Structure 1
Amino acid sequence: MRRRAVFAVLAAGAALGGLTVPAAQADETVGDIRITNVVVNGGKSIVVDAADKTITVSMTATDPSGIWDADFYLWRGPDGTDPYDNADGYIVPNEDTTPADCVASSATTSTCSKTFTFEPDAWLTNADAGTWKVGVQAFANDDSRAERWAYTTTRLQRHSKLTVNASPEPIAKGGTLTITGKLTRANWDTLDYRGYTNQPVKLQYRKAGTTTYTTVKTVYSSSTGDLKTTATASEDVYWRWNFAGTSTTPAATATGDVVDVQ
């Protein structure tokens, strides 16, 4: 049976990444400490296929006494939600040690980081895809501290794939080409890829010897993610499908399939 332990919402006073958190309270700053930057997964969306994916979250903070520690948590819920008591979902870092991995750039400023692992075979489900808030805590050597419930947000997405095939080939000039393909995305419930239904996908082409693609038409994927349309063969061109992506699924572009027109 698949477990879902990471999503147990922490009660007041529960351990959070090796730190003891006080009773739930709003954003606060005690002392001169300042959080100046938070970066999730290098600034990119978190895209997970059917295997585990580990990403890093880092935070830069500054205080006259220097930075001692930091912690992070990812959570889902409406604005105004208390992440400790009322979050729809809650993920803590892999590391439960104190202090965090902090690298000082000066006597007052450090960048601290921890990692998170997303496990489709353990707790991740399709319903978890979407926007997550990033909560952070920073601690200085003089006991100054700061917490932001939602300093920034990140997207957790289901990896997508897109294929293309143009046939027949070779084909006589003026003949009718059939261009097919399939749009699929990771299914975290079944640990494989399934068709992405009813999505707009652009059919594009570029002439041999050029690099720019032109959109011909938009086709919607079928109930199984399949794509199919026709076009007139006029000259040697590369055909591809291009999917713009959604909030839960990243963009995907098929590798161009060249057709020899005779």
Structure 2
Amino acid sequence: MRMRAAGTAVLGALALSVLAVPAAQAADDHRGDTKISNVVVNGGKPVVVGATGSKTITVSFTATDDSGISWAQAILYHGKDIEHSDSGAVANTSDKRSVCTKVSATKANCKATYTLTARKNLINEVAGGWKVWAIAQGKDTDYTKKENAKTFQAQRLAKLTADASPEPVAKGKTLTVTGGLTRANWNGGTYAGYTGQPVKLQFRKQGASGYTTLKTVKTDSKGRLKTTVKATADGSYRFSFAGTSTTSAVSSAGDFVDVK
């Protein structure tokens, strides 16, 4: 796709052009005592984006050098390495670098925001594991550069519904619970059924604090769910999906059933 080809070229060129250090290659490299640590992406949570939406996240890390930190930068990317990436994001700062705040004579906390947008730098093929490329340079020109300073998940937003019927129902009679699991299609800007996925049917008895799992069912070829259960007591039924590397976890709203 043109977007992916263009994204690779831009990221590769940027990664190499911003480095004011010798041997500016994409692979890990260092000189002296400069270090990067404590890399955190989106507060440690997956980055979940809907079919037509975007998500702005914060990436932070600590940089240290015995002379102090001159500057630092992080780039987010998907692919084997940054030179062969098929999508990515750079910082939302004018110079595309992180903003570093001095903590001590040798340490700085650096952070910046990044935006991931459906149908732009997010397409279905790049859902899943992403990486953080990072560099920091000391005031004495020592530096460290990491190809994979941190990994994180960029996930397609999932939606899940549940409907139990009939309502009300006689005790001991059969309830049919139907629903559907869909997820964001970043390529088309819509939601589509997520097929062949295990989903838990859960029940919370009226007055109980949480749900218990009754059974696991799989979505059909259109992402639909259908199963039956015996009605035993008043309470709420819901479906719950644990998520995958490419798709967010989600639980439906509970559907309350009055048992007569």
Is TM more than 0.5 here? yes
* 8 Å contact kept, 2:89–2:121: no
Residue 94 of structure 1 deviates from its aligned partner by 3.0
CA–CA separation in structure 2 for the residues paired with 1:246 and 1:98: 31
| Structure with more of its chain in helix, by fraction | 2
CA–CA separation in structure 2 for the residues paired with 1:142 and 1:87: 31
1:16 aligns with 2:28: no
- Partner secondary structure for residue 212 of structure 1: coil
Amino acid at match of 2:209: T
Give aligned-pair identity as a percent: 48
* 8 Å contact kept, 2:136–2:143: yes
Residue 230 of structure 1 deviates from its aligned partner by 1.0
1:238 aligns with 2:240: no
* 8 Å contact kept, 1:66–1:109: yes
CA–CA separation in structure 1 for the residues paired with 2:34 and 2:19: 19
Q: Which residue of 1 aligns with 2:40?
A: 39
Q: C-alpha deviations, 1:144-164, integer Å up to 9, x for none?
A: 111010112111110111111
* 8 Å contact kept, 1:6–1:91: no
Amino acid at match of 2:199: V
1:62 aligns with 2:64: yes
- Partner secondary structure for residue 178 of structure 2: strand
1:77–1:5 CA distance, 2 compared to 1 (3 A): closer
Q: Which residue of 2 aligns with 1:170?
A: 168
CA–CA separation in structure 2 for the residues paired with 1:215 and 1:208: 15
Unaligned runs of 5+ in 2: none
CA–CA separation in structure 2 for the residues paired with 1:115 and 1:94: 6
Q: C-alpha deviations, 1:199-257, integer Å up to 9, x for none?
A: 00011112110013221111111122111111111210211101111110121111211
Residue 92 of structure 1 deviates from its aligned partner by 2.7
- Partner secondary structure for residue 105 of structure 2: coil
Q: Which residue of 2 aligns with 1:132?
A: 130
1:213–1:99 CA distance, 2 compared to 1 (3 A): closer
Q: C-alpha deviations, 1:69-95, integer Å up to 9, x for none?
A: 1111223334xx5x32x3344433333
Q: Which residue of 2 aligns with 1:204?
A: 202
* 8 Å contact kept, 1:18–1:98: no
Which segment is superposed worse, 147-156 or 211-220? 211-220
1:191–1:252 CA distance, 2 compared to 1 (3 A): same
CA–CA separation in structure 2 for the residues paired with 1:64 and 1:17: 25
CA–CA separation in structure 2 for the residues paired with 1:11 and 1:4: 10
* 8 Å contact kept, 2:47–2:153: yes
